[in-house]
Amino acid sequence: MRSKNPRRPRDPNSKHSTHQIRQQKQAKKDGYLQWGYLRHQYSGDELRSIRKTFQIWKKRLVKVMSSPQSFRPWKEKAAWLIEHETVASMRSAWQEELDEKTRKEEWPLVMLSTMCTSPEKVSAVLEATLSPWPPGYAINDVLLFIARHLRLCKITNIRERTVRAEETIEFLNRLITGSPRGHIPFSQRVFGLFAKALPGDQAHELYTLLQKHEFKLHANTLIQFASKLAGYPAHKGTAFEILQGLSDTGADLSEARPSSVITSLLHCKEPEEVGGNHQQNYSFNVKDALQSFIERGFTLNVVTSTAFLDTLCQSGKVEEAIRLALLFSESGVHLDTKAWATVFRGAKSSLQVGNIAKALDVAKVANVPIVDVLNNALHSAFYFAEIERREKGRLKPFGSALFGTLLRIYAKKFDLEPLQWWLPDSLPLFLAQDAGTGQQQQALIPEDDANRSRWDFEATIIPFIDQLFGAGNDAKLKPSLTTIAIMLRAYIRSLQQPYDLMTYYNFYKSRLEDQGNDPSLASASRLIKNQGSLVHDTVILAMTEHPELSRAALEVFGDMLRDQLRTSATTSAKSHLESEGLVTKSQIHPAPTPLTFSVLLRGLMNGRHRMLAEQVLQIMREHGIEHNIVTWNTLIKGYASLQDVDKTVGALQDMEAAGLKPNMNTFKAFTKLKDQARALKKMEDMIDDNQRKIAGELCEAPSDWRHEMSTWKV
């Protein structure tokens, strides 16, 4: 029997080579089109001269694009120019040191040299060397290079990213408006790549600029703009108009790319900016848009349906979302688990048991696995309890009410053994305590809590969930990792005494260290992989509610941080994987997430441990973790609660410097400050100082902040 030829090993560079080949083919096509444009503009000797210059430029450009690091005699041609820091100084050097004829001759090599040695300065060099105007085709090629290298997403600081984007759009504006009409044969790829690379606001500016100057955009270019703008609430109206225009010219909106844009367009998040619901200021209505698309022949799919349902839920229209989900299903849309989870999340957030009951009808048509349905039902009880606890404050702890109640419900459908492995208490004994007290068991109240006042959630969501778990046969199901995590969080939130919290965390930590040899149990590696930091965050939250456990919460955080550093240090070494192949044995604790930091900071601030909170902030900076809006609001609320005007204002200014705008939670945090007039005056003084430093130029961000501040004077 003849053996098969061994499979040729895959070349790791093949993907890169394929990309280069594709770029070279596209460059050849662009060159053909550019030359077709040029040969109709010139004739005779002038055409022959231009053709020679054109061919030399193209050959050199291809070499630069394929191997920029290779040696070339002209590679350092731009060194004398790029040593200047600003466009103005480059322009002065360019015009003062070279006469016009020399500038015209030197420009191609100077630009190619910059591409090789300093790609980040290509934009500045191009803007500085536009006198005399270089060949239009070459400018277009340079713009393609700039667009490909405009990787704004790699700039972590929001403010720096915004400034860079603004500089880019201002440069494009000057180039489009200042160049001789028809001199630059802008290719569609230039516009498409910039639309993809720029943030939404700047992409919208570019689109408006092109419309103003009557550039004809190809359908693919328009889709690129629509794709970017659809993700920004302020520009969804423009994206909608683009899609309508494409449909009017014969485009099939049900094709992959338009359909993807429609999904993004229909997915809206409720804004939380100061001054009310800003959605009213946007000329875009989700329901009207969907109706328009369907009238134009768009075929609704599950992804688009889910996005639309999520938008309705986030805007508080849960009943309508449930009704439409059932209608979509009747119309032939095959709803999946994600669609149902979206609807159920909205029903849960409404805190209405009736909506949760109706959402179960969606689970039936979406064929959701029974364990997923039960998990979401359990979590809705946990969610109701947490919201009620938050609204009533910490003066009224759960006691064992939450966990005891959920355990009795859990035991009706799920096997106890996987959960027992994670808990020190005997679950059968816990359940047997009330076996002889039918009335108490019927009320789902543990015996030791029978005389206490009841929580609202026990009379609303609990009876419904209990009835749901009691339906069907008595066969026990295997709980998923999500089931285990919900029950662990309920157990942790039911621990009232600091000692009990400390004791349980030590037990939980020992379980994490024991990877678990029984595959039927939820081993630590699988739990951490599946649930991340959720259980650890709950432990930290519970501990920070006790002032004496603030340092214990920091120790939990330290366990997470040390394990992350240890795991990161050994990633390059050979590590032993468990038979499940999910997480190395060296990883015991999950890495801290931005939520972990926010929970810890909020707890420390509420406990008036400002110095400890600032140490956590320093750790975030050292590890390159950028503050999000939640982190900033936590700090502002903490400082304001401590009546520290300087720190409150400083946090607001740092938040502005990071490129973030205040939302309603920022306003609520600021109102904790008693001397608001002094804080506002201090902020205005700082804004005025910043404006003076900009030499009279009005900075856009401070202007926005001054407007926001005017709404804070209550």
Measured between alpha carbons, how far is 386 from 403 in angstroms, rounded to an integer? 12
On average, the pLDDT of the chain sits at 83
Measured between alpha carbons, how far is 589 from 529 in angstroms, rounded to an integer? 10
Tokens standing for residue 565? 């550093």
> 154 falls in which pLDDT band (50, 70, 90)?
confident
Average pLDDT over residues 578-585: 46
| Cβ pair 310, 290 in contact under 8 A | no
pLDDT in the model for residue 651? 85
CA atoms within 13 A on the CB side of 381: 34
Measured between alpha carbons, how far is 358 from 320 in angstroms, rounded to an integer? 11
Give the Cα-Cα-Cα angle 54, 55, 57 (nearest 5 degrees): 65
No. of H helices and E strands in the chain?
36, 0
What would the pLDDT profile of 65-124 be if each residue is shown by its tens digit?
A: 887 777 788 888 999 999 999 999 999 999 999 999 999 999 999 999 999 999 999 999
Cβ-in-10-Å burial (0-12, 13-18, 19+) of 202 comes to: buried
pLDDT in the model for residue 378? 96
pLDDT in the model for residue 118? 92
What would the pLDDT profile of 593-649 be if each residue is shown by its tens digit?
A: 888 998 999 999 888 888 888 888 888 888 777 788 888 888 888 888 888 888 888
- Residues in CB range of 646: below 8 A, 6 or more apart: 682
pLDDT of residue 565 exceeding 80, the answer is: no
**Who has greater pLDDT, 44 or 325?**
325
pLDDT of residue 572 exceeding 90, the answer is: no
pLDDT in the model for residue 694? 47
Tokens standing for residue 115? 């591409």
Least confident of 226-240, 403-417, 602-616: 602-616
Measured between alpha carbons, how far is 550 from 545 in angstroms, rounded to an integer? 8
Measured between alpha carbons, how far is 300 from 294 in angstroms, rounded to an integer? 8
What is the residue-wise DSSP string for 579-623? TT-SSBTT--SPPP-HHHHHHHHHHHHHTT-HHHHHHHHHHHHHT
The SS3 of residue 99 is coil
pLDDT in the model for residue 698? 38
* CB under 8 A, 24+ apart: contacts of 251-255: 251/219, 252/297, 253/293, 253/296, 253/297, 253/298, 254/297, 254/298, 254/299
Least confident of 133-137, 322-326, 604-608, 685-689: 685-689
